[in-house]
Each structure stands twice: as C-alpha cells, then as structure tokens.
Structure 1
Amino acid sequence: MKLLMCLQCHDIFNLSLEEKTCGCGLTRGKYIDQLNATYSGKHAIPLGFTNTSLIKAIQNQPTNGLGEPFTAFVIPKECATFVKEDEVK
C-alpha cells in the first residue's frame, strides 16, 4: 500500500485513482493503475506498508496491550512504481 506524508502539515493519506491532497495542499498524489502511482510536492514523503504484514496484524489484533506490529517503510527516492511528477519522463 502506498501512502504520502506531508512534512509541512504532517498529514498522512492513502492514494486512489483520483488525485488526493494533504490538508495544506502542498502534497498530492494518485494511482495510475493498480501498481503505479505519481506524487508531487517539495514536502512529500512516499511511504509504504507491506500488505501481507498489515493483513496478518489485522488478523492478530489483540484485545488489549500494545497492538500488533506490521511492516511500514519510507519508499526510496528512486522507485519505478512511485514516481515524483517532476521526475516523470
């Protein structure tokens, strides 16, 4: 799952086929298809969740305590499936 974080307003949001923006409007992005996405904004940070890890954590959600961890990561600046719009060629 691809997400964007805006370092200006600290919003984190998921993407869809319709363009979405953060609360301050400086970060935006959208899916092009089921795998590829683009984003823009000098404050934009691309994030990801490992889908299988998230699903497993949801299935193992505890009743109380700290919760079930899952894998999240900052997507590299150079990623073939998540491209910054000013870098699209």
Structure 2
Amino acid sequence: MKNREAIGSDQIPVEKGFGTEKMPDEWRSGICILIYKGMGDVQDCESYRGIRLISHTMKTWKRIIEGRLRLEMEICDEQFGFMQGRGTTDAIFA
C-alpha cells in the first residue's frame, strides 16, 4: 500500500473516491437494523425504530456535504426538524 492510502473496514481506499470523482457503490450500501424502544408490544412494528449502519467513510462524506449545504442554505427560524441546537422545547415556544 502506498503512503497516504488508508483502507477502512470496507477495504476501499479513501483516495478511490477523490481520484475518480465518483462515490464507490460499496460506500452507498448500508445495513438497516430495527431496535426495540423498550416499551410496547414486541410484536408491534411501532415499538421499534430503525437505524442504518454505514461505513465510516460515508459518514465523513455525509458530514462534509451537510456542512457545506448548511452554509449555503437559508433556513427559516420556524425550522426545527433535524436542526442542531433546536429542540422540542424551542419548537413549542416558537
């Protein structure tokens, strides 16, 4: 392996994405898992929440792109969903 080529658990060097300007298909895949919320009927689908396990490389790309998009977008004061630093209490009193 050459210098500056780190391979993660997915065995794909990060440089593969930079050199080709395409995201490898392996980074796009993930595993969906249901986690029991700890209450309610275990047979009821609403008693579970889903999470998606993705590669660490994809998580890094996601954060970079999200950060760049947030810098360019104008987000109104009434937007609370998926916003860091804005919680349910803030939405109630808005």
Same fold (TM over 0.5): no
Bigger radius of gyration, 1 or 2?
A: 2
Greater relative contact order, per chain length (Cα 8 Å cut-off, separation 6+): 1
Higher strand share: 1
